[in-house]
Amino acid sequence: MASLVKYKETNPSNVKTIIKAFYSASYAASIEVNDEVVELVWKMVSSSKHCTKLLNLVPRPAGFIPGASYIAIQLASLSTRLVNAKNNEISHTCKAFVTNAYSTKIKLASLGI
Protein backbone atom coordinates (compact mmCIF):
# COMPACT_ATOMS: atom_id res chain seq x y z
CA MET A 1 0.00 0.00 0.00
CA ALA A 2 1.38 3.32 -1.09
CA SER A 3 0.78 6.32 1.10
CA LEU A 4 0.71 10.05 0.69
CA VAL A 5 4.23 11.46 0.54
CA LYS A 6 4.04 14.51 -1.70
CA TYR A 7 0.45 15.28 -0.64
CA LYS A 8 0.72 14.27 3.02
CA GLU A 9 -1.40 17.27 4.07
CA THR A 10 -4.28 15.96 1.91
CA ASN A 11 -7.04 14.17 3.79
CA PRO A 12 -7.72 10.86 1.98
CA SER A 13 -11.39 11.00 2.99
CA ASN A 14 -11.76 14.26 1.02
CA VAL A 15 -10.32 12.57 -2.04
CA LYS A 16 -12.67 9.60 -1.57
CA THR A 17 -15.65 11.96 -1.22
CA ILE A 18 -14.82 13.47 -4.60
CA ILE A 19 -14.37 10.02 -6.14
CA LYS A 20 -17.71 8.97 -4.68
CA ALA A 21 -19.40 12.07 -6.19
CA PHE A 22 -18.07 11.18 -9.63
CA TYR A 23 -18.42 7.40 -9.46
CA SER A 24 -20.08 5.48 -6.63
CA ALA A 25 -19.57 4.65 -2.97
CA SER A 26 -18.38 1.14 -3.82
CA TYR A 27 -15.85 2.41 -6.37
CA ALA A 28 -14.55 5.02 -3.89
CA ALA A 29 -14.23 2.36 -1.19
CA SER A 30 -12.09 0.24 -3.53
CA ILE A 31 -9.55 3.04 -4.04
CA GLU A 32 -6.40 3.30 -1.94
CA VAL A 33 -5.51 7.00 -1.94
CA ASN A 34 -1.89 7.72 -2.82
CA ASP A 35 -0.04 10.63 -4.44
CA GLU A 36 -0.83 9.52 -7.99
CA VAL A 37 -4.54 9.12 -7.17
CA VAL A 38 -4.58 12.64 -5.69
CA GLU A 39 -3.03 14.04 -8.87
CA LEU A 40 -5.45 12.13 -11.12
CA VAL A 41 -8.49 13.22 -9.12
CA TRP A 42 -7.25 16.81 -9.30
CA LYS A 43 -6.83 16.53 -13.09
CA MET A 44 -10.25 14.88 -13.41
CA VAL A 45 -11.99 17.68 -11.49
CA SER A 46 -10.05 20.36 -13.38
CA SER A 47 -10.90 18.76 -16.72
CA SER A 48 -14.58 18.54 -15.86
CA LYS A 49 -14.68 22.19 -14.78
CA HIS A 50 -12.91 23.27 -17.98
CA CYS A 51 -15.27 21.15 -20.07
CA THR A 52 -18.30 22.66 -18.31
CA LYS A 53 -17.03 26.19 -18.98
CA LEU A 54 -16.64 25.40 -22.67
CA LEU A 55 -19.99 23.63 -22.87
CA ASN A 56 -21.70 26.72 -21.49
CA LEU A 57 -20.44 28.59 -24.58
CA VAL A 58 -22.21 26.21 -26.98
CA PRO A 59 -25.64 27.37 -28.19
CA ARG A 60 -28.46 24.96 -27.51
CA PRO A 61 -29.61 23.04 -30.60
CA ALA A 62 -32.43 24.62 -32.57
CA GLY A 63 -33.82 21.63 -34.46
CA PHE A 64 -34.28 23.98 -37.42
CA ILE A 65 -32.30 26.57 -39.35
CA PRO A 66 -31.85 29.36 -36.81
CA GLY A 67 -33.13 32.80 -37.64
CA ALA A 68 -32.21 36.17 -36.21
CA SER A 69 -34.58 35.94 -33.24
CA TYR A 70 -33.35 32.43 -32.32
CA ILE A 71 -29.75 33.68 -32.39
CA ALA A 72 -30.69 36.67 -30.22
CA ILE A 73 -32.45 34.39 -27.72
CA GLN A 74 -29.45 32.02 -27.63
CA LEU A 75 -27.02 34.89 -27.06
CA ALA A 76 -29.18 36.19 -24.21
CA SER A 77 -29.35 32.67 -22.76
CA LEU A 78 -25.59 32.24 -23.10
CA SER A 79 -25.02 35.55 -21.36
CA THR A 80 -27.29 34.50 -18.50
CA ARG A 81 -25.56 31.11 -18.16
CA LEU A 82 -22.14 32.78 -18.03
CA VAL A 83 -23.23 35.35 -15.44
CA ASN A 84 -25.05 32.80 -13.27
CA ALA A 85 -22.53 29.97 -13.57
CA LYS A 86 -21.55 28.64 -10.18
CA ASN A 87 -18.00 27.45 -9.65
CA ASN A 88 -19.14 24.18 -8.12
CA GLU A 89 -21.46 23.13 -10.95
CA ILE A 90 -20.25 20.46 -13.33
CA SER A 91 -22.10 19.55 -16.48
CA HIS A 92 -23.51 16.02 -16.48
CA THR A 93 -22.06 15.52 -19.98
CA CYS A 94 -18.60 16.58 -18.81
CA LYS A 95 -18.86 14.47 -15.66
CA ALA A 96 -19.73 11.41 -17.76
CA PHE A 97 -16.81 12.09 -20.08
CA VAL A 98 -14.18 12.50 -17.36
CA THR A 99 -15.40 9.55 -15.29
CA ASN A 100 -15.02 7.37 -18.35
CA ALA A 101 -11.58 8.81 -19.12
CA TYR A 102 -10.18 8.54 -15.57
CA SER A 103 -11.78 5.39 -14.12
CA THR A 104 -9.09 2.92 -15.13
CA LYS A 105 -6.26 5.40 -14.52
CA ILE A 106 -7.41 6.01 -10.93
CA LYS A 107 -7.92 2.30 -10.25
CA LEU A 108 -4.46 1.39 -11.58
CA ALA A 109 -2.83 4.28 -9.66
CA SER A 110 -4.58 3.05 -6.52
CA LEU A 111 -3.01 -0.35 -7.05
CA GLY A 112 0.42 1.23 -7.59
CA ILE A 113 0.57 0.17 -11.21
Q: What is the mean pLDDT of residues 57-68?
A: 75
* Residue 16, number of CB atoms within 10 A of its CB: 19
6 inside domain: no
Output Rg (C-alpha) for the chain, integer angstroms. Answer: 18
With respect to residue 27, please indicate whether it lies within any of the assigned structural domains: yes
Is residue 31 in some structural domain? yes
pLDDT on residue 99: 94
Q: Render pLDDT for 72-99 as a digit per residue (tens, 0 to 9).
A: 777 677 667 666 666 567 888 999 999 9
Count how many domains the chain has: 1
The pLDDT-based confidence of 67 (bands split at 50, 70, 90) is confident
pLDDT for 27: 96
Q: Any residues with CB less than 8 A from the CB of 27 and at least 6 apart, and which? A: 19, 20, 103
- Tell me if 85 is assigned to some domain: yes
One-letter amino acid for residue 70 of the chain: Y
Task: For residue 99, tell me if it sits in a domain.
Answer: yes
- Kindly state whether residue 44 falls inside one of the protein's structural domains: yes
pLDDT per residue as tens digits for the range 5-62: 898 889 899 999 999 989 999 999 999 999 999 999 999 999 998 998 888 777 777 7
Q: Residue 34: inside a domain, yes or no?
A: yes
In a domain, 3, yes or no: no
Structural domain for 45, as ranges: 12-110
With 0-12 CB in 10 A as exposed, 13-18 as middle and 19+ as buried, what is 47? middle
pLDDT of residue 84: 67
Residues in Cβ contact with 30 at an 8 Å cutoff, skipping those fewer than 6 apart: 107, 110
Q: What is the pTM of this model?
A: 0.76
What pLDDT is recorded for position 39? 94
